[in-house]
Structure 1
Amino acid sequence: MTPLLTGIRVVDITSIVLGPFAGQVLADLGADVIKVEPLEGELARSVYPVSPDGMGAMFANNNRNKKSLALDLKSAAGKEVLRKLIASANVLLHNMRVDAITRLGFGFEAVKAINPRIIYCSAIGFGQDGPYRDRPAYDDVIQAASGLAMLPAHVGGTPAYVPSVVADKVASLYAVYGVLAAVAAQARGQIEAVDVEVPMFESLVGFLLNEHLAAATFSAEPKGAGYHRLFSPDRKPYRTSDGWVAALPYTGDQWRRLLAEIGRADIAAEPWFQDAGERSRRVAELYRVLGAAVLERSTADWLETFARLDIPYSKVNDLDDLLADPHLNAVGFFEPGALAEAGIARTLRQPVVFRGAPRAPDRSAVAVGADTDGVLAGLGYSGAEIAALKASGAVGGAGEGDDE
């Protein structure tokens, strides 16, 4: 943990990945993130694979450094606890459909009435100003809606989902910068309460079309999207004599060095090659030449060659290869640190490094309601009141977490 957001309290009413990932980034940056869960815990806790004590890896990897408060938000007493918590917070983060959280009594206007300086972040499926606003949404649906799932068809395949919850994670990072921008603006006195809307659909479309808007950038007609270089069927990892390798000569000098290496300096002498625009337009031809040449040598030979020629390259890793990657191990990317005490063998540290900033030990994701007693005590509830809330079923948890 890098405690840069110490003093910022975040009420995290989210589940699965969209929302929890954003909350974890804020928690890793030192925010006091209180995860509000149903009494039985959120769904990701039970998603396979699970630890010996039953905690899902998905939950563990998206909820470290958070506190857990178990509430029945359908009960009047549970809602009252949440109102008191909101009054003490800087940020509320949720990923419920807007109409659903509004019916629950915690839409933006209701929350603003509780806390006139709340930063209210809705991580949702679709923007509320469009006709899709009420649709349910999960990652696969957004991959399809955004055009991402259709990209393989442009290179000879069929529509397919990226085997990663990419829409959830991209939107989560947009939510993080939305919250941080609001925190900064509020600190400078520019805003009071603000409703930060982060739709998955628009987030992934914006992310995808950064390069793929392409010719449509300049066309009045709704056509021309698609960056031609990325649609070349020869833009892919290259098969070597004994495996696979990736390389991307990009500049004219890089291509010249590589073409000389493989005995095709004649291509570099062609008039069209001297023009960067024409070279970009005909890049598929260059990829085909490279692919044919790579097949003639071993992976190790090519890795050495690309390094010698100063051309961007990599071996093609499988997921398990990353766990033993020398660079990732050197930077401590998977080191569990204090989380090892909770049985975590590997975790994923934040890739952003703040050199010169203080560090603090991480806290593993905790059992559902582990911090209920401490959070409620910090809100002014007495021991007897906490016991009564538990007896009524409005709150849950063993009270094993840290006190406020």
Structure 2
Amino acid sequence: MYQLLSGLSLIEVSSFVASPTAGLYCAQMGAEVIRVDQIGGGLDYDRYQLTTEGRSLSWENLNRAKKSVALDMRTAKGRELVQELAAKTGQLITNVPEKSFLNHAALKAAREDIITARIMGWGDGRQAMDFTVNAASGYPLMTGPAEWDADTAPPVNQLLPAWDFICGAYTAFALLAALRHRDMTGEGSELRIPLGDVAIGTVANSGAMAEMLYRGSDRERLGNAIWGAFGRDFMSRDGKRFMVAALTSKQWAGLVEAFDIAPQVAAIEAAHNVEFAQSDHNRFTHRDELFAVFQGVADTLDYDVMAERLARAGTTFERYRTMHEAANDRVLVDDNPLFGQSPKNPSGFRYPAPGPFANMPQRERGAPHSAPYLGADSEEILAERLGLGTGAIGKLIDEGVVATSDADTLGTRS
């Protein structure tokens, strides 16, 4: 864990993926992130997959390096405590609706320069989640085998909630921008980050929106081929599937060398009066003929031989793995300094955990931190942040407004 944000404290009232991701990235850079949850756990506390003890591996990994306060936010006193924590701290990350006790106006009344970063569904207030905004983006109807009929083929959803993770990362960025602005001007900020806008805005930033408008139609399905460039999956003689890509002239030359197909490529160029060395367009346009030549060579070689040739030629390639294989891969995980063993996971299950993705050669990344037990820091935070004494905190615990660590209970909601 890097300490670039040391000294910065955030209150996080979150559920599911995008909002916890924003807090996670800040925590991995050294911020003190105090996650406030409903006693017994919020909406995401028992998300699949659960261990036999009832602990969510999803929750555990999205909340590493954070602190945890458990309050009964269904009570007036519990909501008041959250508002006080947000005002004292000065920064809030949440996906709680604006029309709630955590609305910006109410928090600003308690602290003029407060910064709230709120993840929403759509900008007009409608609900949304990753899989629904993805349906609206158009990508699922451009994904799938090339031979599928354009009018009757089903959409293909992506398994990774990519829009959630992009939204979380953008929220962390927007929050830091607002912090910088406050440092310069003394002004607070209200940030609303609609998940739907992150999705459709990313479609536009990628150039895909302009492409559709220019074409006047949708892009055809290409299976595993790369749009607009040369790249696809191939199968080796021993049944190993691998992906190759050539986005530059050097990468293309490396593939031609590794597959030893210069004469065949020259023949296709001559037949169409084109050249491939300097043209993504030509390689993409004539991809089917080229794919056949490449697969013809792959049919004759085992993957280990093919991989050695591809590596020697400096190409861009990778073998397809199952996710279980990836999780057990020596290069990807075991020997990767990104990962370390996280101690004291609430689940009791030991496994490699990532630290911050950024690699800072002059700084020690350090071991990843574990997620907290729900409510593990309730007493500490209420005492330090709100100045409550042990008697006052004890009374709140007795009243059921505050809860302490659930280390000795299951992770499911009560």
Normalising to structure 1: TM-score of the pair? 0.86
Question: What is the CA distance between 1:201 and its match in structure 2?
Answer: 1.3
CA gap 1:240/1:398 in 2 versus in 1, 3 angstroms: closer
> Taking structure 1 as reference, are residues 347 and 71 closer, same or farther at Cα in structure 2, changes over 3 Å only?
same
Letter in 2 for 1:250: L
1:172 aligns to 2:161 (yes or no):
no
- Unaligned segments of structure 1, at least 5 residues: 128-132
330, 350, 357: which one aligns with 1:326: 330
Q: Equivalent of 2:200, from 205, 224, 228?
A: 205
What CA distance in whole angstroms lies between the structure 2 residues aligned with 1:234 and 1:252? 11
| Identical counterparts, % of pairs | 23
> In 2, are the aligned partners of 1:124 and 1:200 still within 8 Å (CA)?
yes
Match of 1:138 in 2: 129
Query: Over residues 105-147 of structure 1, what are the superposed CA-to-partner deviations in whole Å (9 max), with x where a residue is unaligned?
Result: 22112112222222210111112xxxxx232212211221222
1:359-393 Cα offsets, whole Å, 9 max, x none, are 55543212221111111111111111111112222
Who is 1:272 aligned against? 274
Task: State the distance in 2 between where 1:398 and 1:49 align.
Answer: 21
CA contact (8 A) 2:342 2:370 kept: no
- Match of 1:312? 316
Q: Distance in 2 between matches of 1:322 and 1:259?
A: 28
Q: Which residue of 1 aligns with 2:6?
A: 6
User: In structure 2, do the counterparts of structure 1 residues 72 and 283 end up closer, same or farther at CA, with 3 Å as the change threshold?
Assistant: farther
Per-residue CA deviations over 1:141-179 (Å, capped at 9, x if unaligned) read 122122232221583363021112222112111111111
The amino acid of 1:396's aligned partner reads A
- Bigger shift: 294-303 or 341-350? 341-350
Structure with the greater relative contact order (CA < 8 A, sep ≥ 6): 1 or 2?
A: 2
Amino acid aligned to 2:339: F
In structure 1, give the amino acid aligned to 2:279. A
Residue number in structure 2 paired with 1:70: 70
1:397 to 404, 410, 414: 404
Matches within 5 A, 1:293-372: 293-328=297-332, 329-339=334-344, 343-359=349-365, 362-372=368-378
Shift of residue 80, structure 1, vs aligned partner: 2.0
Cα distance in structure 1, aligned partners of 2:249 and 2:359: 33
Task: Determine if contact 1:371/1:399 at 8 Å carries over to the other structure.
Answer: no
Residues 12, 35 of structure 1: 8 Å contact kept: yes
Q: Aligned equivalents of 1:233 and 1:153: distance in 2?
A: 17
Match of 2:287 in 1: 284
- The letter of the residue matching 2:350 is I
Q: TM-score, normalised by structure 2?
A: 0.84
Residue number in structure 2 paired with 1:130 = none
Amino acid in structure 2 at the alignment position of 1:354: M
Separation in 2 of the partners of 1:215 and 1:77? 51
Amino acid in the other structure paired with 2:389 = S
Q: Which runs of 5+ in 2 are unaligned?
A: 408-414
Query: What corresponds to 2:256 in structure 1?
Result: 259
- Cα 1:211–1:287 change in 2 (3 A) is farther
Question: What is the one-letter code of the residue matched to 1:293?
Answer: V
* Alignment-mate amino acid for residue 297 of structure 1: L
Task: Kindly state the Cα deviation for residue 27 of structure 1 after the two structures are TM-superposed.
Answer: 0.9
Q: 1:356: how far off?
A: 2.2
- d(CA) in 1 for partners of 2:191, 2:145: 35
Distance 1:297 1:392, change over 3 A: same
Change (3 A) 1:326 1:209: farther
Mark the CA change 1:45 to 1:73 in structure 2 (over 3 Å): closer, same or farther: closer
- Distance verdict in 2 for CA 1:97–1:367, change over 3 Å: same
Where 1:300 maps in the other structure, the secondary structure is helix
Aligned to 2:5, what secondary structure does the other structure show? Answer: coil
Figure out how many residues of one structure are paired with residues of the other and give that number: 388
Distance 1:149 1:92 in 2: 34
Q: Does 1:223 align with 2:216?
A: yes
Structure 2 counterpart SS, 1:77: helix
**Post-superposition offset of 1:332:** 3.2
Instruction: Find the aligned partners of 1:308 and 1:87 in 2 and give their Cα distance.
Output: 59
The yes-or-no answer on 1:149 pairing with 2:144 is: no
Distance (whole Å) between structure 1 residues aligned to residue 94 and residue 251 of structure 2: 47
C-alpha distance 89-288 of structure 1, shift in aligned 2 (>3 A): farther
Classify the secondary structure of the residue corresponding to 1:19: helix
How far apart, in 2, do the equivalents of 1:267 and 1:175 lie?
Answer: 52
Paired residue secondary structure (1:111): helix
Distance 1:340 1:60, change over 3 A: closer
Q: What secondary structure is seen at the aligned counterpart in 2 of 1:197? A: strand
Match of 2:43 in 1: 43
Instruction: Mark the CA change 1:91 to 1:358 in structure 2 (over 3 Å): closer, same or farther.
Output: farther
Mapped to 2, the partners of 1:84 and 1:214 lie a distance apart of 44
**Structure 1 residue 191 displacement after superposition:** 5.5
